Structure 1
Protein backbone atom coordinates (compact mmCIF):
# COMPACT_ATOMS: atom_id res chain seq x y z
CA UNK A 1 0.00 0.00 0.00
CA UNK A 2 1.54 3.28 -1.12
CA UNK A 3 1.10 6.38 1.05
CA UNK A 4 -0.24 9.43 -0.84
CA UNK A 5 2.02 12.48 -0.72
CA UNK A 6 -0.79 14.60 0.74
CA UNK A 7 -1.93 12.08 3.36
CA UNK A 8 -3.68 13.61 6.38
CA UNK A 9 -6.17 12.15 8.86
CA UNK A 10 -7.28 15.47 10.37
CA UNK A 11 -11.02 16.10 10.46
CA UNK A 12 -13.04 19.14 11.63
CA UNK A 13 -12.84 18.44 15.36
CA UNK A 14 -9.12 17.71 15.44
CA UNK A 15 -8.44 20.50 12.96
CA UNK A 16 -9.86 23.08 15.35
CA UNK A 17 -7.61 21.82 18.16
CA UNK A 18 -4.57 21.94 15.89
CA UNK A 19 -5.32 25.50 14.79
CA UNK A 20 -5.49 26.61 18.41
CA UNK A 21 -2.26 24.78 19.23
CA UNK A 22 -0.52 26.46 16.30
CA UNK A 23 -1.73 29.86 17.51
CA UNK A 24 -0.28 29.13 20.96
CA UNK A 25 3.03 28.08 19.41
CA UNK A 26 3.16 31.21 17.28
CA UNK A 27 2.68 33.27 20.44
CA UNK A 28 5.55 31.41 22.13
CA UNK A 29 7.76 32.08 19.10
CA UNK A 30 7.09 35.80 19.42
CA UNK A 31 8.55 35.67 22.94
CA UNK A 32 11.54 33.44 22.19
CA UNK A 33 12.89 32.68 18.73
CA UNK A 34 13.70 29.15 17.49
CA UNK A 35 17.31 30.23 17.12
CA UNK A 36 17.49 31.30 20.74
CA UNK A 37 16.05 27.97 21.89
CA UNK A 38 18.45 26.00 19.69
CA UNK A 39 21.39 27.85 21.18
CA UNK A 40 20.20 27.17 24.72
CA UNK A 41 19.76 23.47 23.94
CA UNK A 42 23.44 23.31 23.09
CA UNK A 43 24.16 23.94 26.77
CA UNK A 44 21.53 21.49 28.09
CA UNK A 45 22.32 18.22 29.82
CA UNK A 46 22.32 14.97 27.86
CA UNK A 47 18.97 13.22 27.45
CA UNK A 48 18.26 10.13 29.55
CA UNK A 49 17.75 7.54 26.81
CA UNK A 50 14.00 6.99 26.62
CA UNK A 51 14.01 4.21 24.03
CA UNK A 52 16.99 2.52 25.67
CA UNK A 53 15.15 2.40 29.00
CA UNK A 54 12.17 0.63 27.42
CA UNK A 55 14.41 -1.85 25.63
CA UNK A 56 16.42 -2.57 28.77
CA UNK A 57 13.27 -3.14 30.83
CA UNK A 58 11.94 -5.74 28.43
CA UNK A 59 15.33 -7.40 27.98
CA UNK A 60 15.81 -7.83 31.71
CA UNK A 61 12.24 -8.63 32.82
CA UNK A 62 10.48 -10.05 29.77
CA UNK A 63 7.59 -7.67 30.44
CA UNK A 64 6.52 -4.56 28.53
CA UNK A 65 7.59 -1.32 30.15
CA UNK A 66 4.96 1.18 31.24
CA UNK A 67 5.00 4.83 30.15
CA UNK A 68 2.78 6.34 32.84
CA UNK A 69 0.97 9.52 31.87
CA UNK A 70 0.63 12.65 34.01
CA UNK A 71 -2.00 15.14 32.86
CA UNK A 72 -4.43 17.48 34.59
CA UNK A 73 -6.87 17.34 31.70
CA UNK A 74 -7.31 15.87 28.24
CA UNK A 75 -9.22 16.79 25.07
CA UNK A 76 -10.56 13.23 25.36
CA UNK A 77 -12.34 13.90 28.66
CA UNK A 78 -14.32 16.59 30.47
CA UNK A 79 -12.58 15.68 33.75
CA UNK A 80 -9.93 18.15 34.94
CA UNK A 81 -7.79 18.48 38.05
CA UNK A 82 -7.40 21.98 39.43
CA UNK A 83 -4.23 20.96 41.27
CA UNK A 84 -1.68 18.41 40.10
CA UNK A 85 1.53 17.62 41.97
CA UNK A 86 3.63 16.39 39.06
CA UNK A 87 6.65 15.54 41.22
CA UNK A 88 4.64 13.38 43.62
CA UNK A 89 2.81 11.61 40.80
CA UNK A 90 6.05 10.89 38.94
CA UNK A 91 7.60 9.43 42.08
CA UNK A 92 4.47 7.37 42.76
CA UNK A 93 4.60 5.97 39.23
CA UNK A 94 8.30 5.16 39.65
CA UNK A 95 7.64 3.37 42.92
CA UNK A 96 4.82 1.41 41.28
CA UNK A 97 7.25 0.17 38.61
CA UNK A 98 6.84 2.54 35.65
CA UNK A 99 9.74 2.54 33.20
CA UNK A 100 9.12 6.10 31.96
CA UNK A 101 6.66 8.91 32.60
CA UNK A 102 4.80 11.19 30.24
CA UNK A 103 4.13 14.87 30.97
CA UNK A 104 2.31 17.51 28.95
CA UNK A 105 3.59 20.94 27.98
CA UNK A 106 0.31 22.44 26.76
CA UNK A 107 -1.82 24.35 29.27
CA UNK A 108 -4.97 24.69 27.19
CA UNK A 109 -5.47 21.02 26.26
CA UNK A 110 -3.77 19.16 29.10
CA UNK A 111 -3.40 21.70 31.95
CA UNK A 112 0.32 21.08 31.71
CA UNK A 113 3.35 23.31 31.37
CA UNK A 114 7.00 23.15 30.40
CA UNK A 115 7.81 23.30 34.12
CA UNK A 116 6.18 19.88 34.52
CA UNK A 117 9.18 18.22 32.85
CA UNK A 118 11.55 19.59 35.47
CA UNK A 119 9.19 18.49 38.27
CA UNK A 120 8.86 14.99 36.79
CA UNK A 121 12.66 14.67 36.62
CA UNK A 122 12.64 14.18 40.40
CA UNK A 123 11.58 10.58 39.77
CA UNK A 124 14.80 9.97 37.81
CA UNK A 125 12.92 8.34 34.92
CA UNK A 126 13.03 9.26 31.22
CA UNK A 127 10.36 11.84 30.33
CA UNK A 128 8.05 11.77 27.30
CA UNK A 129 6.65 15.09 26.12
CA UNK A 130 3.03 14.27 25.29
CA UNK A 131 1.84 17.13 23.12
CA UNK A 132 -0.12 17.61 19.91
CA UNK A 133 2.87 18.51 17.77
CA UNK A 134 2.10 20.79 14.82
CA UNK A 135 5.33 22.80 14.65
CA UNK A 136 9.00 21.88 15.03
CA UNK A 137 9.28 24.64 17.62
CA UNK A 138 7.50 22.33 20.08
CA UNK A 139 10.33 19.85 19.71
CA UNK A 140 12.83 22.53 20.72
CA UNK A 141 10.64 23.63 23.65
CA UNK A 142 10.34 20.10 24.97
CA UNK A 143 14.08 19.39 24.68
CA UNK A 144 15.01 22.64 26.41
CA UNK A 145 12.53 21.96 29.22
CA UNK A 146 14.06 18.55 29.96
CA UNK A 147 12.10 15.99 27.95
CA UNK A 148 13.85 12.89 26.64
CA UNK A 149 11.33 11.95 23.96
CA UNK A 150 8.33 13.36 22.09
CA UNK A 151 5.19 12.06 20.34
CA UNK A 152 4.85 12.64 16.59
CA UNK A 153 1.43 11.72 15.14
CA UNK A 154 1.54 10.59 11.49
CA UNK A 155 -2.18 11.33 11.03
CA UNK A 156 -1.38 14.99 11.72
CA UNK A 157 2.07 15.35 10.16
CA UNK A 158 1.66 13.11 7.11
CA UNK A 159 4.58 13.46 4.69
CA UNK A 160 6.27 15.87 7.12
CA UNK A 161 6.81 13.05 9.62
CA UNK A 162 10.37 12.41 8.43
CA UNK A 163 11.32 16.07 8.76
CA UNK A 164 9.94 16.28 12.31
CA UNK A 165 11.66 13.01 13.23
CA UNK A 166 14.98 14.32 11.93
CA UNK A 167 14.55 17.55 13.90
CA UNK A 168 13.97 15.59 17.08
CA UNK A 169 17.02 13.44 16.39
CA UNK A 170 19.12 16.57 15.83
CA UNK A 171 18.52 17.64 19.44
CA UNK A 172 18.88 14.09 20.82
CA UNK A 173 15.19 13.45 21.48
CA UNK A 174 13.73 9.99 20.90
CA UNK A 175 10.36 9.99 19.11
CA UNK A 176 7.28 7.83 19.43
CA UNK A 177 5.87 7.99 15.91
CA UNK A 178 2.16 7.27 16.36
CA UNK A 179 0.04 5.45 13.75
CA UNK A 180 -3.49 4.10 13.34
CA UNK A 181 -3.54 2.32 9.98
CA UNK A 182 -1.35 0.65 7.37
CA UNK A 183 -0.72 3.84 5.41
CA UNK A 184 0.52 5.64 8.51
CA UNK A 185 2.64 2.65 9.49
CA UNK A 186 4.27 2.72 6.06
CA UNK A 187 5.01 6.43 6.44
CA UNK A 188 6.53 5.85 9.89
CA UNK A 189 8.76 3.01 8.70
CA UNK A 190 9.91 4.91 5.61
CA UNK A 191 10.69 7.93 7.80
CA UNK A 192 13.11 5.75 9.78
CA UNK A 193 11.15 5.56 13.05
CA UNK A 194 12.65 3.13 15.57
CA UNK A 195 9.88 3.64 18.15
CA UNK A 196 6.35 3.30 16.71
CA UNK A 197 3.19 3.82 18.73
CA UNK A 198 -0.08 2.18 17.72
CA UNK A 199 -3.09 4.05 19.09
CA UNK A 200 -6.40 2.24 19.47
CA UNK A 201 -8.17 5.59 19.84
CA UNK A 202 -9.42 7.54 16.82
CA UNK A 203 -8.42 11.13 17.64
CA UNK A 204 -11.21 12.57 15.50
CA UNK A 205 -14.13 10.52 16.85
CA UNK A 206 -12.47 9.49 20.17
CA UNK A 207 -13.74 5.94 19.65
CA UNK A 208 -11.64 2.97 20.79
CA UNK A 209 -10.98 0.03 18.47
CA UNK A 210 -8.78 -2.66 20.11
CA UNK A 211 -8.42 -4.24 16.71
CA UNK A 212 -6.01 -1.51 15.62
CA UNK A 213 -3.20 -2.76 17.87
CA UNK A 214 -4.05 -6.36 17.10
CA UNK A 215 -3.80 -5.67 13.37
CA UNK A 216 -0.81 -3.35 13.21
CA UNK A 217 1.66 -4.49 15.89
CA UNK A 218 2.34 -7.81 14.10
CA UNK A 219 3.17 -5.79 10.96
CA UNK A 220 5.88 -3.74 12.70
CA UNK A 221 9.44 -4.98 12.02
CA UNK A 222 10.13 -5.69 15.69
CA UNK A 223 13.71 -6.76 14.99
CA UNK A 224 14.60 -3.07 14.61
CA UNK A 225 11.58 -1.13 15.95
CA UNK A 226 10.11 -0.91 19.44
CA UNK A 227 6.31 -0.88 19.42
CA UNK A 228 4.21 1.14 21.87
CA UNK A 229 0.54 0.30 22.39
CA UNK A 230 -1.70 3.20 23.43
CA UNK A 231 -5.36 4.12 23.67
CA UNK A 232 -7.10 2.03 26.31
CA UNK A 233 -4.66 0.12 28.52
CA UNK A 234 -6.46 -0.29 31.84
CA UNK A 235 -5.72 -3.71 33.32
CA UNK A 236 -3.22 -6.55 33.67
CA UNK A 237 -5.28 -8.45 31.12
CA UNK A 238 -4.71 -5.63 28.63
CA UNK A 239 -0.97 -5.87 29.29
CA UNK A 240 -0.97 -9.60 28.65
CA UNK A 241 -3.02 -9.13 25.47
CA UNK A 242 -0.60 -6.54 24.14
CA UNK A 243 2.46 -8.55 25.15
CA UNK A 244 1.15 -11.56 23.22
CA UNK A 245 1.08 -9.49 20.04
CA UNK A 246 4.83 -8.88 20.34
CA UNK A 247 5.75 -12.59 20.53
CA UNK A 248 8.56 -12.03 23.05
CA UNK A 249 9.96 -9.06 21.15
CA UNK A 250 10.55 -5.78 22.98
CA UNK A 251 7.88 -3.14 23.17
CA UNK A 252 6.12 -0.97 25.71
CA UNK A 253 2.67 0.43 26.26
CA UNK A 254 1.47 3.86 27.28
CA UNK A 255 -1.43 4.46 29.68
CA UNK A 256 -4.04 6.79 28.22
Structure 2
Protein backbone atom coordinates (compact mmCIF):
# COMPACT_ATOMS: atom_id res chain seq x y z
CA UNK A 1 0.00 0.00 0.00
CA UNK A 2 1.38 3.43 -0.98
CA UNK A 3 1.20 6.49 1.24
CA UNK A 4 -1.64 7.76 -0.95
CA UNK A 5 -3.57 4.49 -0.59
CA UNK A 6 -3.21 4.63 3.18
CA UNK A 7 -4.38 8.25 3.35
CA UNK A 8 -7.38 7.58 1.11
CA UNK A 9 -8.40 4.59 3.23
CA UNK A 10 -8.44 6.83 6.31
CA UNK A 11 -10.32 9.54 4.43
CA UNK A 12 -13.06 7.06 3.53
CA UNK A 13 -13.39 5.89 7.12
CA UNK A 14 -13.68 9.44 8.45
CA UNK A 15 -16.14 10.32 5.70
CA UNK A 16 -18.46 7.52 6.76
CA UNK A 17 -18.58 8.94 10.27
CA UNK A 18 -19.54 12.38 8.96
CA UNK A 19 -22.12 10.85 6.62
CA UNK A 20 -23.80 9.19 9.62
CA UNK A 21 -24.20 12.61 11.23
CA UNK A 22 -25.27 14.47 8.08
CA UNK A 23 -26.78 12.43 5.26
CA UNK A 24 -26.23 13.07 1.56
CA UNK A 25 -29.61 14.71 1.00
CA UNK A 26 -29.02 17.13 3.86
CA UNK A 27 -25.49 18.06 2.75
CA UNK A 28 -26.82 18.63 -0.77
CA UNK A 29 -29.39 21.04 0.63
CA UNK A 30 -26.74 22.83 2.66
CA UNK A 31 -24.60 23.20 -0.45
CA UNK A 32 -27.53 24.67 -2.36
CA UNK A 33 -28.18 27.14 0.46
CA UNK A 34 -24.57 28.32 0.65
CA UNK A 35 -23.48 31.63 -0.83
CA UNK A 36 -22.34 31.22 -4.45
CA UNK A 37 -18.72 30.19 -4.96
CA UNK A 38 -16.29 32.98 -5.72
CA UNK A 39 -14.67 32.86 -9.13
CA UNK A 40 -10.98 32.11 -9.38
CA UNK A 41 -9.34 34.30 -12.03
CA UNK A 42 -7.32 32.00 -14.28
CA UNK A 43 -5.91 34.90 -16.30
CA UNK A 44 -4.41 37.02 -13.52
CA UNK A 45 -0.69 37.64 -13.05
CA UNK A 46 1.55 35.12 -11.32
CA UNK A 47 0.29 34.44 -7.83
CA UNK A 48 0.55 32.41 -4.65
CA UNK A 49 -1.97 29.95 -3.29
CA UNK A 50 -1.09 30.16 0.40
CA UNK A 51 -1.82 27.12 2.53
CA UNK A 52 -3.05 26.66 6.08
CA UNK A 53 -1.00 23.61 7.05
CA UNK A 54 -0.39 22.31 10.56
CA UNK A 55 1.47 19.12 9.75
CA UNK A 56 2.39 16.76 6.93
CA UNK A 57 3.17 13.04 6.57
CA UNK A 58 6.71 13.85 5.46
CA UNK A 59 7.65 16.40 8.12
CA UNK A 60 5.28 15.80 11.02
CA UNK A 61 4.17 18.81 13.05
CA UNK A 62 4.90 22.12 11.35
CA UNK A 63 3.09 24.90 13.16
CA UNK A 64 0.58 25.62 15.89
CA UNK A 65 -2.27 27.45 14.18
CA UNK A 66 -4.94 28.23 16.79
CA UNK A 67 -6.90 30.50 14.45
CA UNK A 68 -6.68 29.68 10.73
CA UNK A 69 -8.71 32.80 9.95
CA UNK A 70 -6.02 35.06 11.40
CA UNK A 71 -3.35 33.35 9.29
CA UNK A 72 -5.56 33.60 6.21
CA UNK A 73 -5.94 37.35 6.72
CA UNK A 74 -2.14 37.70 6.78
CA UNK A 75 -1.91 35.71 3.57
CA UNK A 76 -4.53 37.90 1.94
CA UNK A 77 -2.76 41.06 3.11
CA UNK A 78 0.40 39.76 1.45
CA UNK A 79 -1.43 39.43 -1.86
CA UNK A 80 -2.32 35.73 -1.97
CA UNK A 81 -4.54 34.78 -4.91
CA UNK A 82 -6.29 32.09 -2.89
CA UNK A 83 -6.08 30.28 0.44
CA UNK A 84 -5.65 26.51 0.52
CA UNK A 85 -7.09 24.82 3.60
CA UNK A 86 -6.15 21.25 4.41
CA UNK A 87 -9.20 19.50 5.82
CA UNK A 88 -7.78 15.96 6.12
CA UNK A 89 -7.53 15.10 9.80
CA UNK A 90 -5.33 12.03 10.28
CA UNK A 91 -2.15 13.02 8.46
CA UNK A 92 -2.53 16.81 8.22
CA UNK A 93 -4.50 17.72 11.38
CA UNK A 94 -6.97 19.72 9.33
CA UNK A 95 -10.74 20.02 9.60
CA UNK A 96 -13.84 21.52 8.07
CA UNK A 97 -13.84 23.93 11.00
CA UNK A 98 -10.60 25.32 9.58
CA UNK A 99 -12.34 25.82 6.25
CA UNK A 100 -15.21 27.63 7.96
CA UNK A 101 -12.79 29.87 9.83
CA UNK A 102 -10.89 30.86 6.71
CA UNK A 103 -14.03 31.36 4.62
CA UNK A 104 -15.36 33.80 7.22
CA UNK A 105 -12.07 35.69 7.43
CA UNK A 106 -11.21 36.51 3.79
CA UNK A 107 -12.85 37.61 0.57
CA UNK A 108 -10.48 35.82 -1.79
CA UNK A 109 -11.18 32.29 -3.09
CA UNK A 110 -10.65 29.34 -0.77
CA UNK A 111 -9.50 25.88 -1.84
CA UNK A 112 -10.58 22.80 0.07
CA UNK A 113 -7.44 20.68 -0.10
CA UNK A 114 -8.31 17.10 0.67
CA UNK A 115 -8.41 13.68 -0.94
CA UNK A 116 -11.68 13.90 -2.83
CA UNK A 117 -12.92 10.39 -3.56
CA UNK A 118 -16.69 10.57 -3.03
CA UNK A 119 -19.55 12.71 -4.33
CA UNK A 120 -20.48 13.62 -0.76
CA UNK A 121 -17.22 15.54 -0.27
CA UNK A 122 -17.98 17.96 -3.10
CA UNK A 123 -21.35 18.97 -1.69
CA UNK A 124 -19.69 19.12 1.72
CA UNK A 125 -16.98 21.44 0.35
CA UNK A 126 -19.57 23.76 -1.15
CA UNK A 127 -21.68 23.69 2.01
CA UNK A 128 -18.63 24.91 3.94
CA UNK A 129 -17.88 27.69 1.48
CA UNK A 130 -15.14 26.22 -0.71
CA UNK A 131 -14.60 27.94 -4.05
CA UNK A 132 -12.05 25.44 -5.34
CA UNK A 133 -11.44 21.74 -4.76
CA UNK A 134 -8.47 19.48 -5.39
CA UNK A 135 -8.72 16.48 -7.73
CA UNK A 136 -5.72 14.16 -7.52
CA UNK A 137 -5.40 12.14 -10.73
CA UNK A 138 -3.46 9.39 -8.92
CA UNK A 139 -6.35 8.86 -6.49
CA UNK A 140 -9.10 8.46 -9.10
CA UNK A 141 -9.80 6.44 -12.20
CA UNK A 142 -10.48 8.45 -15.39
CA UNK A 143 -14.25 8.01 -15.12
CA UNK A 144 -14.33 9.22 -11.52
CA UNK A 145 -12.06 12.12 -12.39
CA UNK A 146 -14.32 13.21 -15.24
CA UNK A 147 -17.48 12.87 -13.16
CA UNK A 148 -16.02 14.73 -10.20
CA UNK A 149 -14.64 17.49 -12.42
CA UNK A 150 -18.11 17.96 -13.90
CA UNK A 151 -19.70 17.90 -10.44
CA UNK A 152 -17.33 20.58 -9.16
CA UNK A 153 -18.21 22.75 -12.14
CA UNK A 154 -21.93 22.14 -11.63
CA UNK A 155 -21.56 23.32 -8.03
CA UNK A 156 -19.81 26.47 -9.21
CA UNK A 157 -16.37 25.47 -7.96
CA UNK A 158 -13.07 25.45 -9.81
CA UNK A 159 -11.18 22.16 -9.78
CA UNK A 160 -7.40 22.08 -9.42
CA UNK A 161 -6.41 18.85 -11.17
CA UNK A 162 -3.18 17.57 -9.63
CA UNK A 163 -0.67 15.53 -11.64
CA UNK A 164 2.71 13.98 -10.85
CA UNK A 165 3.95 12.53 -14.13
CA UNK A 166 3.47 12.55 -17.89
CA UNK A 167 0.72 9.92 -17.90
CA UNK A 168 -1.32 11.85 -15.35
CA UNK A 169 -0.76 15.09 -17.23
CA UNK A 170 -2.14 13.46 -20.38
CA UNK A 171 -5.26 12.47 -18.45
CA UNK A 172 -5.72 16.02 -17.18
CA UNK A 173 -5.24 17.37 -20.68
CA UNK A 174 -7.78 14.91 -22.11
CA UNK A 175 -10.19 16.14 -19.45
CA UNK A 176 -9.74 19.70 -20.71
CA UNK A 177 -8.91 20.93 -17.22
CA UNK A 178 -8.15 24.67 -17.29
CA UNK A 179 -6.31 24.57 -13.95
CA UNK A 180 -3.63 21.90 -13.66
CA UNK A 181 -1.24 21.33 -10.79
CA UNK A 182 2.13 19.63 -11.08
CA UNK A 183 3.12 18.23 -7.71
CA UNK A 184 6.84 17.53 -7.55
CA UNK A 185 6.43 15.26 -4.51
CA UNK A 186 6.64 11.51 -5.10
CA UNK A 187 3.57 9.93 -3.53
CA UNK A 188 5.37 6.64 -2.94
CA UNK A 189 8.28 7.88 -0.82
CA UNK A 190 7.28 11.55 -0.29
CA UNK A 191 10.55 12.84 -1.74
CA UNK A 192 10.52 16.14 -3.66
CA UNK A 193 12.30 16.81 -6.95
CA UNK A 194 11.55 20.30 -8.26
CA UNK A 195 13.22 19.31 -11.52
CA UNK A 196 10.13 17.29 -12.39
CA UNK A 197 8.15 20.45 -13.04
CA UNK A 198 9.82 21.88 -16.16
CA UNK A 199 9.43 18.82 -18.45
CA UNK A 200 5.76 18.49 -17.59
CA UNK A 201 5.12 22.22 -17.89
CA UNK A 202 6.61 22.11 -21.37
CA UNK A 203 3.98 19.55 -22.39
CA UNK A 204 1.01 21.43 -20.97
CA UNK A 205 -1.39 22.97 -23.48
CA UNK A 206 -1.26 26.70 -24.13
CA UNK A 207 -3.95 28.56 -22.27
CA UNK A 208 -3.85 26.17 -19.33
CA UNK A 209 -3.11 27.71 -15.94
CA UNK A 210 -0.28 25.78 -14.25
CA UNK A 211 0.25 25.48 -10.52
CA UNK A 212 3.61 24.31 -9.15
CA UNK A 213 3.08 22.34 -5.95
CA UNK A 214 5.66 21.33 -3.31
CA UNK A 215 9.31 22.25 -3.01
CA UNK A 216 9.07 25.99 -2.36
CA UNK A 217 11.44 26.91 0.44
CA UNK A 218 12.27 30.43 -0.70
CA UNK A 219 12.22 32.96 -3.55
CA UNK A 220 14.75 31.00 -5.62
CA UNK A 221 12.35 28.08 -5.86
CA UNK A 222 9.53 30.38 -6.90
CA UNK A 223 11.79 31.92 -9.56
CA UNK A 224 12.68 28.49 -10.90
CA UNK A 225 9.06 27.45 -11.19
CA UNK A 226 8.07 30.74 -12.83
CA UNK A 227 10.92 30.46 -15.33
CA UNK A 228 9.71 26.96 -16.21
CA UNK A 229 6.16 28.15 -16.90
CA UNK A 230 4.28 28.16 -13.61
CA UNK A 231 1.45 30.66 -13.31
CA UNK A 232 0.98 29.99 -9.60
CA UNK A 233 2.76 28.28 -6.75
CA UNK A 234 1.02 26.50 -3.91
CA UNK A 235 3.03 27.00 -0.72
CA UNK A 236 2.38 25.82 2.81
CA UNK A 237 5.36 24.73 4.87
CA UNK A 238 7.59 27.71 4.05
CA UNK A 239 4.80 30.11 5.02
CA UNK A 240 3.74 28.52 8.30
CA UNK A 241 7.32 28.04 9.52
CA UNK A 242 8.96 31.21 8.20
CA UNK A 243 7.81 33.65 10.89
CA UNK A 244 6.31 36.35 8.65
CA UNK A 245 3.70 34.84 6.34
CA UNK A 246 2.43 38.16 5.00
CA UNK A 247 5.89 39.29 3.91
CA UNK A 248 6.72 35.86 2.50
CA UNK A 249 3.60 35.82 0.31
CA UNK A 250 4.42 39.31 -0.94
CA UNK A 251 8.02 38.34 -1.72
CA UNK A 252 7.06 35.12 -3.48
CA UNK A 253 4.44 36.96 -5.53
CA UNK A 254 6.81 39.71 -6.60
CA UNK A 255 9.54 37.23 -7.46
CA UNK A 256 7.21 35.08 -9.51
CA UNK A 257 5.74 38.03 -11.38
CA UNK A 258 9.18 39.37 -12.23
CA UNK A 259 10.41 36.06 -13.61
CA UNK A 260 7.15 35.20 -15.35
CA UNK A 261 7.26 38.57 -17.13
CA UNK A 262 10.71 37.74 -18.48
CA UNK A 263 9.46 34.45 -19.87
CA UNK A 264 6.41 36.00 -21.50
CA UNK A 265 8.39 38.87 -23.01
TM-score between both structures, scaled by the size of structure 1:
0.86
Residue 255 of structure 1 is aligned with which of 235, 240, 248? 235
Equivalent residue, structure 1, for 2:154: 170
> In 1, Cα distance between the equivalents of 2:127 and 2:188?
30
Equivalent residue, structure 2, for 1:8: none
Q: Do the aligned partners of 2:31 and 2:124 also contact (CA within 8 Å) in 1?
A: no
Q: Do the aligned partners of 1:165 and 1:175 also contact (CA within 8 Å) in 2?
A: yes
Aligned residues: 234
TM-score between both structures, scaled by the size of structure 2:
0.83
Segments of 4+ in structure 1 off by > 4 A?
A: 80-83
> In 2, Cα distance between the equivalents of 1:75 and 1:178?
18
Residue 32 of structure 1 is aligned with which of 14, 22, 25? 22
Q: Do the aligned partners of 1:158 and 1:187 also contact (CA within 8 Å) in 2?
A: no
Equivalent residue, structure 2, for 1:21: 11
Residue 43 of structure 2 is aligned with which of 45, 55, 61? 55
Equivalent residue, structure 2, for 1:138: 121
Residue 48 of structure 2 is aligned with which of 35, 46, 66? 66
SS of the aligned residue for 1:48 comes to: coil
Whether 1:156 and 2:153 are equivalent positions in the alignment is no
- Structure 1 residue 109 displacement after superposition: 2.3
Equivalent residue, structure 1, for 2:205: 221
Equivalent residue, structure 2, for 1:179: 163
Q: Over aligned residues, Cα RMSD in angstroms? A: 1.6
Structure 2 residue ranges without an equivalent (≥5): 237-265
Equivalent residue, structure 2, for 1:3: none
Equivalent residue, structure 2, for 1:92: 74
SS of the aligned residue for 2:140 comes to: helix
- Structure 1 residue 111 displacement after superposition: 1.7
Equivalent residue, structure 2, for 1:6: none
Residues 17-50 of structure 1: CA distance to partner in whole angstroms, max 9, x if unpaired?
Answer: 2111111111211221222211221121111112
Structure 1 residue ranges without an equivalent (≥5): 1-10, 59-63
